[in-house]
Structure 1
């Protein structure tokens, strides 16, 4: 499981250090040297192969009901890359994904339970403020209450 947020620099070769807790989680899932990375929602999303396959299955089911989902699937799959993790725990991000995520020097790696997200730090700070406001709304707290959380 991936939780927490971590601040790192991305090097000139497009590599970013994955947090130790994320590397341990990958090892536990048998995915310690390769993950699937794609762009969605202003950031990069990184999945183990198992979680990627689950996401693809959910997208296929959604596309059967909402044809416009097919466009999202096509773009996500076209932009996706199987990215290697080196012995120093650095994830190698291809140029097209680095550009999609508008990743500059400083990045934030965020745990989303079943996946990781990689954000440009400035963009993360802007989006985080929006998330704080939205998650404080009456609707958000009612939705969580309905889930027993």
Structure 2
């Protein structure tokens, strides 16, 4: 898999479903494109919604499994992550349904921006993404220097 790369603008349909852009659908694993395919949705702390294929989520789940339920911080992290998680079916047309809870979390009414971020897709309300980029434009170059 080459990974999800790029940015697309889309609109939810009247039932709150997002059509996964063709360029991202091409990158989905075969297990994520057949009948009964699922995708994991997570309410991210930054106000976006992250979409993970099952094989990617399984790797994250293994990382969470080693955290101790007897360590209060580790238990809190697990609780917060699992509270923000859902698994939904991708229909034959490549649409992903979002619950009202997820849409409200992200401030999404109809229009969205989908960012391909290698192993995941990130869904934003356009206004929130624009604000995030604008407020952090000056930090971008220093972050890039620090991590690259």
TM-score normalised by L of structure 1 = 0.82
What is the alpha-carbon root mean square deviation over aligned residues?
A: 2.1
Corresponding residue pairs, total: 141
Correspondence for 2:21 among 8, 15, 19: 19
Q: Give, in angstroms, the shift of residue 61 of structure 1.
A: 4.4
- Of 37, 46, 62 in structure 1, the residue corresponding to residue 51 of structure 2 is 46
Aligned counterpart, 2:7: 5
Q: Moved runs in structure 1, 4+ residues, more than 6 A? A: none
Residues 56-91 of structure 1: CA deviation (Å, up to 9, x unaligned): 223344668x74243232122123221122222211
Q: Which sections of structure 2, spanning at least 5 residues, go unmatched?
A: none
Q: Distance in 1 between matches of 2:121 and 2:114?
A: 7
Residue number among 129, 135, 140 corresponding to 1:124 in the alignment: 129
2:144 alignment partner, one of 124, 140, 147: 140
- Cα gap change, 1:103 to 1:84, in 2 (>3 Å): same
User: C-alpha distance in 1, partners of 2:49/2:134?
Assistant: 19
Structure 1, unmatched stretches of 5+, are 145-149
Give me the TM-score of the superposition, normalised by structure 2: 0.82
1 or 2, which has the higher helix percentage? 1
- Cα pair 1:39 1:97 within 8 Å, conserved: yes
Structure 1 residue aligned with 2:39:
35
Matched, 1:68 2:78: no
Determine the structure 2 residue equivalent to 1:147.
none
